[in-house]
Amino acid sequence: MPNLYGSLWRLTKFINNKVWIVIEAKFMAQNFKHLTFTESVKKAQKRYGSRDIYQRAGEGPDQYQLFQREISMIEARDSFYMATVGENGWPYVQFRGGPKGFLKVIDQETIGYADFKGNMQYISTGNINATKKAALILLDYPTKRRLKIWAESEILDPAKHPELRDNLIVEGYDAVIERLVVFYIKAFDWNCPQHINPRYTMEELEQLNQLS
Q: Are residues 87 and 18 in the same domain?
A: no
pLDDT score of 156: 98
Q: Report the distance separating Cα 66 and Cα 189, nearest Å.
A: 11
| CA angle in degrees (0–180, nearest 5) for 142-145-146 | 130
DSSP per-residue codes, 63-97: -----HHHHHHHHT-SEEEEEEE-TTS-EEEEEEE
Task: Say if 206 falls within a structural domain.
Answer: no
Domain that includes residue 38, residue range:
8-60
Amino acid at 65: Q
Q: Are residues 51 and 127 in the same domain?
A: no
Task: Say if 159 falls within a structural domain.
Answer: yes
12-37 burial string, b = 16+ CB within 10 Å, else e?
A: eeeeeeeeeeeeebebbbbbbbeeeb
Task: Say if 209 falls within a structural domain.
Answer: no
Q: What is the pTM of this model?
A: 0.84
Count of domains forming the chain: 2
Task: Say if 144 falls within a structural domain.
Answer: yes
Task: Say if 83 falls within a structural domain.
Answer: yes
Query: What does the longest C-alpha to C-alpha distance in the chain come to?
Result: 66
Q: Are residues 172 and 80 in the same domain?
A: yes
Task: Say if 26 falls within a structural domain.
Answer: yes
Amino acid at 137: I
State the CATH number of the domain containing residue 149: 2.30.110.10
For residue range 122-181, what is the model confidence (pLDDT) as tens digits? 999 999 999 999 999 999 999 999 999 999 999 999 999 999 999 999 888 888 899 999
pLDDT by residue, tens only, the chain of 212 residues: 344 444 443 434 333 444 434 444 556 788 888 899 999 999 999 999 999 888 877 667 888 899 999 999 999 999 999 999 999 999 999 999 999 999 999 999 999 999 998 889 999 999 999 999 999 999 999 999 999 999 999 999 999 999 999 999 988 888 889 999 999 999 999 988 889 999 998 888 988 888 87
pLDDT score of 58: 62
Q: Report the distance separating Cα 198 and Cα 85, nearest Å.
A: 29
Give the pairing of strands 58-60 and 27-29: parallel
